[in-house]
Chains A and B, each alone.
Chain A
Amino acid sequence: MPNSQPNHGHVAVMEPEAHGPELVHQFSDVQQQKNAASLGMWLFLVTEIMFFGGMFCAYLIYRLEYFNAFAAGSQQLSIKMGAINTAVLIISSVTVVLAVKAAEAGKRKLLVGYLVVTVLLGLTFLVVKGFEYREKFEKHHVPGSTFSFTDKFDDNGKQYSVNSKEAELFFSLYFVMTGMHALHMIIGCGLFTVLAILAWKGHYTPAYFTPIENSGLYWHLVDIIWIYLFPLLYLISRHS
């Protein structure tokens, strides 16, 4: 019935303690709350796509203009480490999906196990990245006053010299893009660590495991960003 009478008198004062995370007061039922949380996380992921997208735009334009320098810079990156990291992230996405599955089935220990493995894989990624950055530092490929690039672009056997400033631009984008990605990985690892602790304490049941699902979505997006970063940064021109 349409509420055509003006409201009078008594009002239900909000009592936050009356609602657990399973159903908060602004939602009328659990499914609505779950759908809302999921949509909210997806919208946040869209902002992440656009956020990284700005850097991809810069990368795309400079790669077209300074192809030789970008290819030369790319050839100095370690395919082995990049590929290992790609594999590590893919496996961690699998463990995340299996963690969600475990949460849904109410298997607490399995859930915690998968979350812990995910964090460990994430840390592995960061350690490998650390080795890569160190290698860059040793080869004087870090942009700034210490930058020095004397390597050539190897195009099917032919060696081309490249402009040092253009190569520096490649490495600027390399550090900014992988650095921003690594920051998001660190946040993800932190998030899953907290969730693992809460899961161990029994916070999540088959009726409520929304944070696991939504954090999983975040992690998968970070994986997708790396799926694009890897070929674009490491595999520009490798046939020689």
Chain B
Amino acid sequence: MAQHEEHTTHSQAFYLFIGFALLVLTATTVGAAFINLGAFNPVVALLIATIKATLVVLFFMHVKGASEKLTGAVVVSGFFFLAILLSLSLADYLTRSGPMWR
């Protein structure tokens, strides 16, 4: 049982900065949607969303600097198994030879 104090609170200015960054990223994703990037539109959108989510997880949810590595492992495993659900299901649909059920 690790008994470390969690010194994870940043300064108010820092949190406001992260919040501002998230708002900027939101504006960016909206702007990027209006530009024709072809197949990369969804990629860019998801990339920006993931950056935003990462900022929230690391700084707002205090995962960065948490004394227990376990917290990070729990977060990663949650998203990892979601990725398994999505990717292995897609592996079926993307390798079908015909159209999906009509």
A and B touch in the complex (CB under 8 A): yes
- Does B56 contact A223, Cβ atoms closer than 8 Å? yes
Q: B59's closest neighbor in chain A, by CB? A: A97
Which residues of A are found within 8 Å of B4, using beta-carbon distances? 31
Question: 1/0 per position for A142-155, CB-CB distance to B under 8 A?
Answer: 00000000000000
**B-side interface mostly:** helix
Interface size on A, residues (CB 8 A): 51
Interface size on B, residues (CB 8 A): 53
Q: A64's closest neighbor in chain B, by CB? A: B93
**A-side interface mostly:** helix
- Does B89 contact A50, Cβ atoms closer than 8 Å? no
- Does A45 contact B36, Cβ atoms closer than 8 Å? no
A101 to B71, CA, bound (A): 20
The reply to whether the CB of A220 lies closer than 8 angstroms to some CB of chain B is: yes
Which residues of A are found within 8 Å of B2, using beta-carbon distances? 35
- Does A231 contact B9, Cβ atoms closer than 8 Å? no
Q: Please report which residues of chain B, range 1-19, place their CB below 8 angstroms from some CB of chain A when the two chains form the complex.
A: 1-5, 9, 12, 15-16, 18-19
- Does B29 contact A235, Cβ atoms closer than 8 Å? yes
Which residues of B are found within 8 Å of A35, using beta-carbon distances? 1-2, 68
Which residues of A are found within 8 Å of B53, using beta-carbon distances? 224, 227-228
- Does A83 contact B26, Cβ atoms closer than 8 Å? yes
A174 to B70, CA, bound (A): 34
Q: Please report which residues of chain B, range 45-59, place their CB below 8 angstroms from some CB of chain A when the two chains form the complex.
A: 45-46, 48-49, 52-53, 56-57, 59
